[in-house]
Structures are given as C-alpha cells and as structure tokens.
C-alpha cells in the first residue's frame, strides 16, 4: 500500500508545472474543499496569517499584574489566600479561560492545579502542547467562599483584568472553559450546550466554548464533545498551515 501511495504522489508531483491552468484549477478545488470543511465545522472567521509580535508582551502582563496590586476592588479579597492572576506563555497562540480559583489554586496562587487542572493538563497535551506553551487564567482572580458562583459586581470589578490580559496576549484563539467563562467573554446568557462547538468572535479573536474540566470529572461521557471542540480550536490555529497546502 505504502509504495503504491508513494508512486501516485511521485506521478502527481511530476505533473506539477506542466499545465499551469490545471495546477490553478486543482489549487482552487483544494481551497474550496478546505473552506467547505471549515464552514461545516462552524468557522465564521479565519485567523490572521501573521503570528502576533512577542515584543513587550511580558511587560504588558506584568504591568496589568502590577496595576492589580494587592487588589481589594471587590469583597472576594477578604477570603483569598493568593490572587491567581494566570500563568503560561505571554505570547501564547491559545489562551484557556476558566471561571475562578478553587481551593488548591487559592492555596498555591496558580490556575488549574487541582483535580480539574490535572485533566486540563491532559487536554493541553492532547492538543500537542505543554502547559507552559499556552496561557491559562480565569475570569475572576480570587476564590469565592465555598466555591460559590461569583456575583455580578465581583465580575464587573475583576473582568477588566481578563480583558486586558487577552488584549496583551492577542492569541490566535481562546478556549472558554465552562458556561461562566463563555458567557462572560461573549456577553450572553446562553447555556454552554448552545455555545459550544461553534466559533465566536471577541474583538477579532475567535472563541471556542467547551465544557469545564470540573464538569468532565463528574460527567466523563462528555469528554468526546470536548475533544470535538478542541479539534475545532486546533483547526483555527492550524488554519495558516492548511491554507498554504
């Protein structure tokens, strides 16, 4: 089988250039097929060809963290052990956004380090990256007491920090983990089941919502859907490569 495939490819490559018109038609057909596939996957927008400049990005994130300081802008400051600002590559191609810190995150000052974090690490590895190659953060930076949902005024106080983080990184795509992150980023009240497996846009950056890893721990049968969402996100990030084929 393998040698047959090789000979077919060799014959194809030998034909390339002999008929520019036929080459152009083949290229157009290939591009049409690729765009049809992207449309089927729910793509409404193609990412830019250029990778964002990394110049000054670390400084920008540091500046945001510095502006945050020992924040007491909302009542959550009185319960926290550590602010969980976010971590990872300041020039990441993908940012993963969760809801807020849990007990372990609050203790260590790092996002997604509990049981859900371990599952998230596996998802990141399945995407082909190491944890330090992406950027991970949350909508709110301090743990709500007893892991309750953040209140609207708390989100209003903390949300601008996330928006500044995303603006500093300008990733090629965002994976919104759970209904809370998706609804905040997309300014909607739609349930995650309606938002997932689609490409949304915020300020030119594509957002793919999916289920939160903590939800997956309770509902492992939903992992297949998360994998579908991750594939959609990867098709966005790899769009440059595919378009050049």
Burial of 143 (0-12, 13-18, 19+ CB in 10 A): buried
CB of 201 to ligand SF4, least distance (A): 25
Residue number with CB closer to ligand SF4 (47 or 144): 144
Verify binding: residue 140, ligand SF4, rule CB under 6 A: yes
The two structure tokens encoding residue 218: 């309770």
Verify binding: residue 105, ligand SF4, rule CB under 6 A: no
The two structure tokens encoding residue 93: 């191609």
Verify binding: residue 207, ligand SF4, rule CB under 6 A: no
Residue number with CB closer to ligand SF4 (143 or 196): 143
Three-state secondary structure string covering 96-161:
EEECCCCHHHHHHCCCCCCHHHHHHHHHHHHCCCCHHHCEEEECCCCCCHHHCCCCHHHHHHHHHH
- Contact segment (CB under 6 A) with ligand SF4 among 122-130, 135-143, 176-184, 227-235 equals 135-143
Verify binding: residue 137, ligand SF4, rule CB under 6 A: no
Q: Which of 141, 170, 200, 212 binds ligand SF4 (CB under 6 A)?
A: 141
Q: Which of 43, 61, 64, 71 binds ligand SF4 (CB under 6 A)?
A: 71
The two structure tokens encoding residue 3: 């040698």
Q: Which of 34, 65, 73, 238 binds ligand SF4 (CB under 6 A)?
A: 73
- Contact segment (CB under 6 A) with ligand SF4 among 13-21, 125-133, 136-144, 236-244 equals 136-144
Residue number with CB closer to ligand SF4 (80 or 198): 80
Distances (CA, A) of 50 to 84, 165, 167, 227, 228: 31, 20, 16, 26, 26
Residue number with CB closer to ligand SF4 (151 or 197): 151
- Contact segment (CB under 6 A) with ligand SF4 among 42-50, 75-83, 198-206, 224-232 equals 75-83
Residue number with CB closer to ligand SF4 (84 or 116): 84
Identify residues 10-69 at the interface with ligand SF4 (CB under 6 A).
68
Judged by CB under 6 A, the number of residues near ligand SF4 is 14
Distances (CA, A) of 180 to 89, 106, 141, 149, 154: 23, 18, 14, 9, 13
Q: How many CB atoms lie within 10 A of CB 18?
A: 8
Residue number with CB closer to ligand SF4 (26 or 68): 68
Q: Which residues bind ligand SF4 (CB under 6 A)?
A: 68, 71-74, 76-77, 83, 140-142, 154, 157-158
């Amino acid at each position: 089988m393998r040698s047959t495939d090789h000979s077919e490819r060799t014959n194809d490559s030998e034909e390339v250039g002999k008929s520019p018109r036929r080459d152009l038609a083949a290229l157009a057909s290939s591009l049409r097929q690729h765009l049809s596939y992207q449309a089927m996957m729910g793509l409404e927008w193609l990412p830019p060809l250029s990778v964002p400049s990394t110049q000054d990005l670390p400084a920008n994130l540091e500046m945001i963290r510095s502006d945050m300081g020992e924040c007491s802008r909302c009542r959550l400051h009185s319960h926290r052990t550590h602010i969980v600002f976010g971590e990872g590559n300041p020039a990441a191609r993908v940012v993963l956004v969760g809801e807020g810190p849990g007990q372990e995150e609050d203790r260590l000052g790092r996002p997604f380090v509990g049981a859900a974090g371990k599952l998230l690490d596996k998802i990141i590895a399945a995407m082909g990256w190491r944890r330090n190659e992406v950027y991970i953060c949350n909508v709110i930076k301090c743990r709500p007491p007893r892991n309750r949902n953040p209140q609207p005024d708390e989100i209003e106080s903390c949300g601008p920090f996330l928006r500044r983080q995303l603006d500093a990184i300008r990733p090629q795509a965002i994976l919104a983990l759970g209904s809370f992150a998706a609804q905040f980023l997309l300014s909607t009240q739609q349930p995650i089941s309606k938002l997932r497996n689609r490409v949304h846009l915020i300020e030119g950056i594509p957002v793919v919502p999916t289920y939160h890893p903590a939800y997956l721990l309770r509902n492992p049968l939903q992992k297949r859907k998360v994998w579908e969402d991750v594939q959609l996100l990867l098709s966005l990030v790899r769009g440059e490569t595919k378009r050049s084929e």
